[in-house]
Structure 1
Amino acid sequence: MKYNTIISGQFVSRPNRFIAQVQVDGAMQTVHVKNTGRCKELLLPGADVRLEVCDNPNRKTKYDLVAVYKPSLGWVNIDSQAPNKVVQEWLQTEGYDLVRPEYTYGGSRIDFYMEKGEEKYLLEVKGCTLEVDGIGYFPDAPTLRGVKHLHELAKAAQQGYHCAIGFVIQMEGVAEVRPNTATHPQFAEALAQARTAGVKVLFLLCRVEPDGLAITQAREWKN
């Protein structure tokens, strides 16, 4: 997944979850934040950030904040649209006969439905940007939608679908993701129930590039 045009800036503040104040070439700019999560451990005053230049002349903000530098880790992509884009690219290389995004199952839209011969697959995608001591954690804010998706996947697994939830790790140097029990215990419970029902948990490791993101490895949570 590649961005069109990327420039650098320094984070100043985040007045609300949709916008941030960023210094670009000595001038203050109001930019769109492509992540409604908290990201409070990343978006710190003075942090180096990467901005995508928006090509829509009618938009109020001309930049999107897509990545931030964490001194202990390196660049972290925080674009909440990036995980689905890189997963779709990755799935096209995995030998499926059909890959269909935004598939309606039960009362939810699951990110991907795939077919391989007679076998049917469902994959829900979650982006991980929260790291503590080398481990990724999800979510960084409560997600009722995430809990609902896990319940749907558990039902589908019992009906014969091959189901998985894939955590796209939007940073390098992190190889696994654990549920953030302190922030949302219900998600942790739903994840455990889904695994018991046969839902696989995939860790999708990424290379964070100056102008994009790419999946480099898929690992399954076995223990």
Structure 2
Amino acid sequence: MMHYTRTVEGRFLHRPNRFIALVDIGGTVETVHVKNTGRCAELLVPGARVVLEQAAPGAPRRTAYSLIAVYKGELLINMDSQAPNRVVLEAALSGQLDNVAGEPLAAVRPEMRFGSSRFDLYWETVSGVKAFMEVKGVTLEQDGIVRFPDAPTARGTRHVLEMVEAVRAGYRGHLLFLIQMNGVSLFEPNAVMDPAFAQALRVAASSGVQVLAYDTWVTPDSMVLGEPVEVVL
């Protein structure tokens, strides 16, 4: 299980830039690190309840806290951009992705290069099938529908098209959208925000890349892989 230590709750006040935020923690205003450089404008609204992880004593940091999650009403959304890779790697190592691979995995390695991209996961199955997986964290939700991205992402589009090239080279390719919350109904690309990414995703799916979405179980101090979510391209 991906676990945080030393978590506390606060109230979001203001985000001067994409790296930091001002948060009221028990009556004291703290400058905290935001572990997601995306816009997250619909989440980080003044007064929102947020969850912070306190840095270890003596850690060489400029801020004492990192913002890792936010409540949208009663829905808790993890917004740590580093967390999805950790969750999916743990899931692969524990056998939770054997059903995606179609058989047990014999080897799993993070951060493997192909072409000009570095994919989040590489694995080999017991029968020798080789595959890449790219993981994208999803935090944008409206009426039970989640979308990616929340801002234009040329880098994300490049990753998708590189995955197509990997499939053409004989690898299996998987794009996994990890929804950093629970209780949603479906995933779709955010074609209004980034039509190029949405088109690349459709090209990938028609070229043999498997496009997946999974939700997660989120608590103030943990996040674990949940269940598959319907994908509509």
Q: TM-score range by the shorter chain?
A: over 0.9
Q: Give per-residue Cα distances to partners, 1:166-194, cap 9 Å, x unaligned.
A: 00000111143211111111100110111
User: Counterpart of 2:113?
Assistant: 104
The residue aligned with 2:62 is 60
Deviations 1:86-116 (A, max 9, x none): 0001011133101110000011101111000
Assess, with a 3 A threshold, how the Cα gap between structure 1 residues 221 and 180 changes in structure 2: closer, same or farther.
closer
Secondary structure at 2:24's aligned position in 1? Answer: strand
In 2, Cα distance between the equivalents of 1:38 and 1:213?
21
Q: Distance in 1 between matches of 2:143 and 2:52?
A: 27
Q: How far apart are residue 204 of structure 1 and its match?
A: 1.4
- The 5 Å alignment of 1:28-67 reads 28-55=29-56, 56-67=58-69
Q: Give 1:57 deviation, angstroms.
A: 3.3
Q: Which letter maps to 2:202?
A: A
Q: Is the 8 A contact 2:52 2:65 kept in 1?
A: yes
Percent identical residues: 48
Counterpart of 1:197 in structure 2 is 207
- Report if the CA contact (8 A) 2:109-2:121 is conserved: yes
CA contact (8 A) 1:98 1:115 kept: yes
Q: Which runs of 5+ in 2 are unaligned?
A: 99-103
Once superposed, what is the RMSD of the aligned Cα atoms?
A: 1.4
Q: 1:153 aligns with which of 147, 159, 163?
A: 163
Q: Which residue of 1 aligns with 2:228?
A: 218
Deviation at 1:216, TM superposition (A): 1.8
SS class of match (1:97): strand
Once residues 188 and 70 of structure 1 are traced to their aligned partners in structure 2, the CA distance between those partners, rounded to angstroms, is 26
What amino acid is the match of 2:124?
E
Larger mean CA deviation between 27-36 and 88-97 belongs to: 88-97
Contact 2:187 2:232 in 1 (8 A): no
CA contact (8 A) 2:13 2:46 kept: yes
Provide the residue aligned with 2:186 in structure 1. Answer: 176
Distance (whole Å) between structure 1 residues aligned to residue 224 and residue 109 of structure 2: 20
2:192 corresponds to 1:186: no
> Deviations 1:117-175 (Å, cap 9, x if unpaired)?
21011100000000012111000011111101111111111222111100000011114
Residues 73-94 of structure 1: CA deviation (Å, up to 9, x unaligned):
5100000000000000101113
**Shift >6 Å, 4+ stretches:** none
Distance across 2 between alignment mates of 1:18 and 1:103: 27
1:221 positional shift = 3.7
Q: What's the offset of the Cα at 1:220?
A: 6.5
TM-score (norm 1): 0.96
Distance 1:124 1:219 in 2: 17
Contact 2:108 2:121 (8 Å CA) reproduced: yes
Match of 1:163 among 173, 181, 188: 173
TM-score normalised according to structure 2 size: 0.92
Structure-1 separation of matches of 2:185 and 2:155: 25
Selected match of 2:72 from 55, 70, 73: 70
Aligned-partner Cα distance in 2 for 1:43–1:221: 26
Distance 1:185 1:200 in 2: 20
- Report the CA distance between 1:222 and its aligned residue: 7.7
What is the distance in 1 between the residues matched to 2:69 and 2:77? 5
